[in-house]
Structure 1
Amino acid sequence: MDPMHLSAADLDQATIPQLARRMADGGLTAAGLTRAYLRRVVELDPRLRAVVAVDPTAESQAEESDRRRALGQSRGLMDGIPVLLKDNIDTRGLATTAGSRALSVPPEADAEVVTRLRAAGAVVLGKTNMTEWGNFRSPWASSGWSAVGGQTANPHVLDRTPCGSSSGSAVAVAASLAQVAVGTETNGSIVSPAGHAGIVGFKPTPGRVSNAGIVPITALRDTAGPMARHVVDAAILMAAMEGTDPSFTPGTLRGARIGVWRRTGFDPDVDRVVASTVELLRDRGATTVDVELPYQDAIQAVDRPAMVAEFRHDLERYLRTRTGAPRTMRELVEFNEADPVELSRFGQELLHDAEKARPLTDPVYRHQRLTATGLARRSLDETLAAHRLDLVMAPTNGPAWLARGADPSGPRTALPAAVAGYPNVSIPAGFAGPLPIGVSFLGGRGADEAVLRFAAAFEDAARARRTPAYLPGVA
């Protein structure tokens, strides 16, 4: 790996441990690595629209990392590693808009997760585009579109959706615009774009990473999480976000009992990828059991109105921390109505619903939230226990659709882990033509490390990730 010229293949294939060893040996500098990624942003992002802001201090951050290393004061594996942050994560002096032109004044302080990343020595490269307000403005929203960043493109086929809402983070990682990126998830917003971009996306148990300084949908289960080309990098980034030891050991497929939630009938390519994944798991010594997770319709029926109430409460509390921003849902609605861009693609029906939402002290709301969370936990707990399972595997996504209009129906497998507050990881598993299809591994309560270890073992066995081809379309 020539420190003066890091090729696209070098960046695509290198892991954080490999880069850290090269920096320790003097064969690579953090400044050289950072400049290589910045060149990629300049070269590719005009087609992708994944990055909404580049940190002007990125090179100086990297040079400071090199100085620490020269003095024998490296802060660990993440020191000097370029990271992109989703644009709903407060970053001092940089845009933090959640995709909305209403949040035009940068925040004055870092989110706690950014503070932890800086403490680990990570180089904050910039901010990534996202589906506006975390895809919680309209049921007709176009995934990956925001009034701030426009439409993010899927790097495998440029006229296809990247899904969302962590669209830019997923695309930037797939296209090697940074080594890793941070996304956030409330219901699928890490794992779904990871599946569509053909990368790793890990949604941890909420609470492991602080939500302080992150634009919310619902603070009860919003969580930041790592997005990476390699599971080991996701695990290392996750540790830095938590402020814990980054030690990581891959697991094994042999002897595992895996429930298979097939979700058949959405797409024949999804069915084919799931079938091949089951065959691979069995060939590597795992036992698979077909399962159906119960209560899904009942969970969704009460979870959505509860989320609307939480959105109003939590977003208005956050808005009061931002200079120059609307303070209430009504003020935000009025801002959008007066803005020439905000309502140009779709409406703000969910904001109108939130204006009328019940307060969080209302007994109807409290019943909705308790019911949704309880049923989601039962759905996974009962299934895991009944079949003595370690994890549940399900398809993450179908083939990406054209990047316009609302999301069509798909496997919708993120819901139970998201509402339950349980861990979920998406891993590349196959393709529909040039379009990636991922599979998700859902764990039980507190199974974060087990999920990541298993994901690493599956990644090693499947080796399904491909470098994006940047095709203009599919015939």
Structure 2
Amino acid sequence: MRTITRVATAVLAIGVLTVGGIITYNNLSGRDGSLQRRVGGDFILDEERNSYAGQTEVDYTAFEKILSDLSAERRQQISVAFDGQDLAGRARVRRELGITNTEALAYYVSKMRENNGYYRSVLQLDPAAVDMAADLDARGVGPTEEHPLRGSIVLVKGNIAVEDLPNDSGSRALHSAAAHRDSALVAGLRESGAIVAGRTNLSELANFLTIDSPNGFSAVGGQTLDARDPLNRDPYGSSTGSATAIALDYADLTFGTETQGSVISPAVVAGVYAAKAGYGECDISGIVPIDDRVDSPGVFGRSVADLAVGFRYACGMSPEEPGETELTVIDMGLDPVLVEALSRAGISVVEPGPELQRSIEELRSLPFIEALIAGVGPSMETYFADNESGRLENLHDLVEYYRQHPEAAPYGLNLIEEGLTPPMSFEESDEVMDRARRIVGRINEQMAARGAVALVGRGDGLPEITAGGSARATVPLIPVTQNLAVDVFGKYAVTIDATDTDTAALLEIARRIESARPFDG
């Protein structure tokens, strides 16, 4: 029989690690009880080095020419001009300074080459990005107001297929098979003119390999570290590399995936904007799943406008027209300063009330992790049937690979192994998902009765709401720059949880909250 402790630990494995907005710091020693990182043997981690014996290094060979052509003076000019700018601001800077697509690519790759060997945010670069940038330059086109992603540099999580690169989800078991086609998300980005520069590191198999591994670790990519306090702060996951890549200034936009907390939690810690699409609003074909009944893509950026652009072109979503009517949200742990700031932006904050609180607690009490364990096998089998996966055909093949290659799973594989003998049947897990959707529907009705449109709180909000397919977003209440002090991150961020799948409507709420930031300047 599985104990409550085991289930609670499994929840942590998926990335739901922030409690009440409190970010935990722990000194690294041997194996830290919170960060769970090993030091010694195959693992090296100190102030200057970060490596795992089996990790794959990023190959910069195809980028050497454009890197050598970017002078130190030009790189510094771009860095200063980009600081504090979102996607639209950087596009404007590029036009004003005549920054070519190739120079923009070289700038970001130079940042990676400078310190990604330590932070390990980027898993792999795509050599084809050099030709993509050159082709756009030859045509004399780049980002404009009408084409905001054309020539922009984007990275996608290592479980999102990019043609000719392995879609390995950080796993050596999948690393030998290159994707024969782009995922639907990447195809949408390319159609917009975006330059997909490569893949970001992640918690291996989106944090569904073992309950014992640290966030941000994969056998292929090594250990991703927090951008500002790498040794002491948990970067969370599983979209760890996508969040830290924005904080480290490695791209214009990045993309990740969320099953429960895997986009929002790392974004909160990194101090960047992020949103998770409502279930079904973004095509997940070509994405290595945990459970295709709830998995959804997400976007990371430097403003709400960045998120809207990312979803528009990657997923085909239409942005909602900005509005200034009074909004009401449910207080999930805001302090008086935030409540006052939201009021100035036309957002009223009301208490949840006992009935809504009971519904939220009922949602939190569902055996969601057990349902995911029951769903991972069928989801993986569907993915393997439609995508390149070497010789793997099902979950048993994946588990057997790890059993035969223990060095590929240095922290173990106890979570994915449970998928072979799940704690409930797939039909029972479907009942859990249906119940979650009904509870979320009831929460929506209870909010509507109070005139509210979303739940708003500190930290990572209500990650359990993803069981109902809801859209989610997080907004840092300070500007996203390259040089802010570490102690502000995570403390001044709010998360917005919708009770439906309308991501465009959610982003309009996020935009209003962004305009109310009390800590600007």
TM-score, length-normalised on structure 2?
0.77
Contact 1:313 1:360 in 2 (8 A): no
Report the CA distance shift for 1:71/1:164 in structure 2 as closer, same or farther (over 3 A): closer
Shift of residue 15, structure 1, vs aligned partner: 2.4
Q: Give 2:310's match in structure 1, choosing from 237, 244, 248.
A: 237
CA contact (8 A) 1:395 1:439 kept: yes
Match of 2:399 in 1: 333
2:371 paired residue number: 306
Q: How far apart, CA to CA, are the structure 1 residues paired with 2:142 and 2:288?
A: 38
Q: 1:59, CA displacement in angstroms?
A: 2.2
Contact 2:276–2:298 at 8 Å: present in 1 too?
yes
Deviation string, structure 1 residues 72-112 (Cα, Å, up to 9, x no partner)? 99981100000000000011112321111101122111101
User: Residue 220 of structure 1 aligns with which residue?
Assistant: 293
Q: Is 1:78 the equivalent of 2:149?
A: yes
CA distance in 1, matches of 2:510, 2:405: 44
Letter of the aligned partner of 1:119 in structure 2?
A: E
Per-residue deviation, residues 109-135 of structure 1 (Å, max 9, x unmatched): 110111111110000111100011111
Shift of 1:319: 2.3
1:251 offset after TM fit, Å?
4.6
CA contact (8 A) 1:183 1:224 kept: yes
Q: Deviations over 1:144-183 (max 9, x none)?
A: 1111111111112111111000000000011111011001
% same residue: 26
Q: Is the 8 Å Cα contact of residues 11 and 179 (structure 1) preserved in structure 2?
A: no
The answer to whether the Cα contact below 8 Å between 1:274 and 1:439 also exists between their aligned partners in 2 is no
Separation of aligned partners in 1, 2:226 and 2:446: 34
SS at match of 1:234: helix
Q: How many residues align?
A: 435
Q: What secondary structure is seen at the aligned counterpart in 1 of 2:495? A: strand
In structure 2, the CA distance between the partners of 1:4 and 1:354, relative to structure 1 (3 Å rule), is closer
How far apart, CA to CA, are the structure 2 residues paired with 1:330 and 1:414? Answer: 29
Match of 2:337 in 1: 276
SS at match of 2:156: strand
Contact 2:153 2:194 in 1 (8 A): yes
Change (3 A) 1:95 1:440: same
Aligned partner letter, 1:433: D
Tell me, in whole angstroms, the C-alpha distance in 2 between the residues paired with 1:249 and 1:173. Answer: 27
* Cα pair distance change 1:72/1:305, threshold 3 Å: closer
SS for the counterpart of 1:209 is coil
The amino acid of 1:124's aligned partner reads V
Going from structure 1 to structure 2, the CA distance change for 1:368 and 1:443 (only over 3 Å counts) comes to closer
Asked whether the equivalents of residues 268 and 489 of structure 2 are also in contact (C-alpha less than 8 Å), the reply is no
What's the offset of the Cα at 1:315?
A: 0.9
User: For the Cα contact (< 8 Å) 1:312–1:357, is it kept in 2?
Assistant: no
| Structure 2 counterparts to residues 419-434 of structure 1, below 5 A | 419-429=467-477, 433-434=487-488
**Which residue number in structure 1 is paired with residue 216 of structure 2?**
144
Secondary structure at the aligned position of 1:441 is classed as strand
Change (3 A) 1:6 1:274: farther
- Note if 1:450 corresponds to 2:505: yes
The 10-residue stretch of structure 1 (220-229 or 193-202) with the greater mean CA deviation from structure 2: 220-229
- Tell me the alpha carbon deviations over residues 32-68 of structure 1, each in whole angstroms, 9 at most, x when there is no partner: 1111111111112122110010111222211222233
Q: CA, structure 1 residues 216+456, in 2 after alignment: closer, same or farther (shift >3 Å)?
A: same
Q: Kindly tell me: are residues 46 and 113 of structure 1, through their superposed partners in 2, closer, same or farther at Cα, counting changes over 3 Å?
A: same
- Among candidates 438, 448, 455, match of residue 392 of structure 1: 455
Residue 375 of structure 1: which of 434, 439, 442 is its match? 439
Which SS does the other structure have where 2:127 is aligned?
coil
Distance of 1:142 and 1:71 partners within structure 2: 39
Which residue number in structure 1 is paired with residue 182 of structure 2?
Answer: 110
Match of 1:54 in 2: 125
Pairwise CA distance, 1:337: 2.0
Equivalent residues in 2 for 1:129-208 (5 A)? Answer: 129-159=201-231, 160-208=233-281
Gaps of 5+ in 1: 263-272, 398-411, 467-475
- 1:25-104 to structure 2, matched below 5 A, reads 27-70=98-141, 76-104=147-175
CA contact (8 A) 1:3 1:27 kept: no
Q: Displacement of 1:70 after TM fit?
A: 4.7
Report the TM-score, using the length of structure 1 for normalisation: 0.84
Residue in structure 2 matched with residue 351 of structure 1 by the alignment: 416
Structure 2 counterpart of 1:341, which letter? Answer: E
Cα distance change on mapping 1:458 and 1:72 into 2, 3 Å = closer
**Residue 414 of structure 1 corresponds to which residue in structure 2?**
463
Equivalent pair of 2:344/2:516 in contact (CA under 8 Å): no
